[in-house]
Structure 1
Amino acid sequence: MYALVDCNNFYASCERAFNPALRNKPIAILSNNDGCVISRSDEAKALKLPMGAPIFKWDSFCKANNILVFSSNYPLYGDMSSRIMKILEQFTPDIEIYSIDESFLEFKGFENHDFKDYGNQIRTRVLKWTGIPTCVGIAPTKALSKVANKIARKFPEQTKGVYVIDSDEKRIKALKWITLEDVWGIGRGLQKRLKAKGCKTAYDFTQLPDDWVRKSFSITAWKLKKDLEGISKIKLDEVEAKRAIATTRSFEYTYSDIDNIKERISTFATSCAEKLRKQGSSCHVIYVVLSSDKHKKDLQQHRASRVVNLPYPTDSSLIISQEAVQSVSHIFKKGIKYKRAGVIVMGLVPTNNHQLQMFEHENPKHKPLMYTIDKLNEKYANYKVKLGSQDLKRTWKMRQERLSPRYTTNINDIIVVK
């Protein structure tokens, strides 16, 4: 059996966990730089605040309807997500973290368990230990656990947040209820083609001949069909090393001076290098991109990129940052107001197993230096040790005018009980 554990309105729930006065009130969370709505509480959804709404257009609507709007507090959300995932690991060792707010769990050797009760235990423990409400869907396959989770979320009064598909009768009833648009793994292209065959629900999809599905679509679509039939074909994903690592961000304001842009690129490059070291990889290629604000049509537009091929693989923040900063100096144009930049490292190889060069190699002092920096930053957090080319006060410069305290990641924001 598989379970999908999904946090309800995760970002809004994180805000409520530390501020009980927000409960039962409409809440909206904004994207980077306070751009658009990316998360809403059920109360905000009931008021018809759309997902993706640009806040500058909907600000008056939010004020008129008493919708409380917050900047994205990613350090808080990330820490709360990590705590929840550690709790889920107590229920089974087989877990796939699917996103920041949901995970698949596989139950091997649980044949005699009462899964309804087990789902309630999961939900109760997460709520008690973190204050985050969840819904749990349990079924014989991953795809069906997604369906079960939607039922638990849609009908909270009847399901109490937990629904188990443990019979063919329940499976067929659920598949006849859920539309193609709501089936996990069926995108717009596949929806269009299935509707042309007369399919409206997930059940209709399962009634198509296997051979025709494999021939007309793909092996992935066929696996999804079998999963919906209760035959497990989609397994838990194993964690694999990334083939490329990217750090791209929009600036809090537009920049037209090279110094500010160099500082941002240095920070992005350092982030990529840290991620390389974390997964034990080194890169051969650095790709730097810089672009103006495409939404401001009245301003002169410019988008450029540059590729750097390194003579040897490296995971050193010093080298990657230096090369990235030099690259952005070449593509920068005076008079342009830049809004976004990014650094991508590619051509990844294992750090402890790659082809050595005879005449060119990395300074041997970099490895112990990077190790020491990582350990210090891990111990003291908030990136206390940085390169001289970075802003020593901030890592990510974003407009966050409605930011809540970082209750669990900043000692100065910890709640004081009086």
Structure 2
Amino acid sequence: MFALVDCNNFYTSCERVFDPNLQGKPVAILSNNDGCVISRSDEAKSIGLPMGAPIFKWERFCKQNNIRILSSNYPLYGDMSARVMRILEQFTPDVEVYSIDEAFLEFRGFDKYDFDDYGHQIRNRILKWTGIPTCVGIAPTKALSKIANKVARKFPKETGGVYVIDSEEKRIKALKWIKLGSVWGIGYRLQKRLNAKGCKTGYDFTQLSDSWVRKNFSITEWKLKKDLQGVSKLELDVRETKRAIATTRSFEYTYSDIENIKERISTFASSCAEKLRTQGSSCHMVVVMLSSDRHKKDSEQHRGSKTVVFPYPTDSTLTITNAAVEAIKTIFKPGIKYKRAGVIVTGLVPTDNHQLDLFVGENPKHKPLMHTIDHLNKKFKADKIKLGNQDLERTWKMRQERLSPKYTTKISDIITVK
């Protein structure tokens, strides 16, 4: 059996744990730079605030409906997510963290368990220990557990936040209930092709013949169909080494001077290099991107990118950052107001197992230096050690005018009980 545990309105729920005044009130969480709505409470949804709404267009609507608007507090959300995932590991060793607010669990050797009761144990422990409300869907396959979770979320009073598909009758009923576009793994294009075949629900999809699905789609769609039929074909994903690592961000403001842009690129490249070392990889090339604000149609537009190939694989912050900064100099055009930039490291190979070059190689001083920097930053839980051309105050310069305190990750923001 598989379970899908999903945190309800996760970002909003994290804020409510530490600010009970938000309970029962409409709340909206904004994206980077306070751009658009990325999370809403059920109350905000019922009022009509759409997901992805640009806040500058919906500010008046939010004020009229007393919707509390907050900036994204990623340190808080990340810490609360880690707490939830650690709790889930107490119920089974087989856990796949699917996203920041949901995870798949596999139950091997749990044949004698009452899964409805076990699901309520999971939900109650997370709520008691973290204050985060969740829904739990349990079924014989991953795809069906997703649907079971949607049932639990849609009918909280009837299910108590937990729903188990443990019979053929429940499986068919759930598949006939769920619309095709709401089935996990069926995107817009696939839905359009299946609609042309007469499929409107998940059940309709499972009635197609295996041969037709294999002929017209890939093995992935066939596995999904079998999963929905109760035959497990989608296993828990094993965490694999990434083939490329990217750090892309919008700036807090538009920049037309190269010094500010160089500082941002240096910070992005440093982040990529740190991630490389974390997964034990080195890169053969770095791609640097820079673009203006496409939403400002009256301003001159420019977008460019440059790829730098290294003569040897590297995970050194110094090497990668220097290459990225030199690349941005060739992309930058004076007079353009730039809004977004990014750094991608690719061509990844294991740091401890790659082809060496007889004549060129990394400066041998870089390895111990990077090791020391990583050790200190990990020890003090912050980026205390940075390059001289980085902003020494902040990692990302984002507009966060409505930011709540970092209740669990910053000592000065811890709640004081009087």
CA deviation profile, 1:176-220 (whole Å, cap 9, x unmatched): 100101100111111111111111111111111111111111111
Distance 1:31 1:369 in 2: 35
Residue 377 (structure 1) aligns with: 377
Shift of 1:373: 0.7
Asked if residue 72 in structure 1 is aligned to residue 64 in structure 2, the reply is: no
CA deviation profile, 1:40-64 (whole Å, cap 9, x unmatched): 0000000000011110010010011
* Aligned residue type for 2:342: G
CA deviation profile, 1:263-319 (whole Å, cap 9, x unmatched): 000000000000000000000101000110011010011111111000111101111
Shift of 1:382: 2.2
* Aligned residue type for 1:60: R
CA deviation profile, 1:8-64 (whole Å, cap 9, x unmatched): 000000000111111000000001100000100000000000011110010010011
CA deviation profile, 1:353-412 (whole Å, cap 9, x unmatched): 011111111111111111111111111122111111100000000000000001111111
SS in 2 for 1:396: coil
Q: Superposed, which structure 2 residues align to 1:382-393 within 5 Å?
A: 382-393=382-393
Distance 1:391 1:186 in 2: 43
SS in 1 for 2:344: strand
* Aligned residue type for 1:80: M
Q: Superposed, which structure 2 residues align to 1:18-33 within 5 Å?
A: 18-33=18-33
Residue 267 (structure 2) aligns with: 267
Asked if residue 9 in structure 1 is aligned to residue 17 in structure 2, the reply is: no
Shifted more, 136-145 versus 195-204: the winner is: 195-204
CA deviation profile, 1:92-149 (whole Å, cap 9, x unmatched): 1111111110000000000000001110111011111111000000000000000000
* Aligned residue type for 2:34: D
Shift of 1:335: 0.4
SS in 2 for 1:283: strand
* Aligned residue type for 2:154: K
* Aligned residue type for 2:75: P
SS in 2 for 1:248: strand
Q: Superposed, which structure 2 residues align to 1:79-90 within 5 Å?
A: 79-90=79-90
Residue 150 (structure 2) aligns with: 150
CA deviation profile, 1:159-188 (whole Å, cap 9, x unmatched): 000000000010011011001011001111
**Could you list the runs of 5+ residues in structure 2 that have no partner in the other structure?**
none
Shifted more, 191-200 versus 14-23: the winner is: 191-200
* Aligned residue type for 1:407: Y
Residue 211 (structure 1) aligns with: 211
Residue 104 (structure 1) aligns with: 104
Residue 294 (structure 1) aligns with: 294
Q: Superposed, which structure 2 residues align to 1:387-402 within 5 Å?
A: 387-402=387-402
Distance 1:196 1:29 in 2: 37
* Aligned residue type for 1:334: P
Residue 314 (structure 1) aligns with: 314
Residue 118 (structure 2) aligns with: 118
* Aligned residue type for 1:105: L
Distance 1:87 1:177 in 2: 31
Number of equivalenced pairs: 418
Distance 2:129 2:386 in 1: 34
SS in 1 for 2:301: coil
* Aligned residue type for 2:108: K
* Aligned residue type for 1:228: L
Distance 2:367 2:92 in 1: 37
**Runs of 4+ in structure 1 over 3 Å off:** none
Distance 2:416 2:316 in 1: 40
Shifted more, 365-374 versus 64-73: the winner is: 365-374
SS in 2 for 1:382: coil
Residue 247 (structure 1) aligns with: 247
SS in 2 for 1:152: helix
Residue 202 (structure 1) aligns with: 202
SS in 2 for 1:212: helix
SS in 1 for 2:359: coil
Distance 2:235 2:250 in 1: 36
SS in 2 for 1:220: helix
SS in 2 for 1:126: helix
SS in 2 for 1:364: coil
Residue 63 (structure 1) aligns with: 63
SS in 2 for 1:135: strand
SS in 2 for 1:386: coil
* Aligned residue type for 1:155: F
TM-score by length of 2: 0.99
Shift of 1:413: 0.8
Q: Superposed, which structure 2 residues align to 1:177-188 within 5 Å?
A: 177-188=177-188
Residue 189 (structure 2) aligns with: 189
SS in 2 for 1:11: helix
Distance 2:196 2:227 in 1: 22
Asked if residue 166 in structure 1 is aligned to residue 166 in structure 2, the reply is: yes
Distance 2:259 2:198 in 1: 59
Distance 1:289 1:54 in 2: 24
Distance 1:35 1:319 in 2: 33
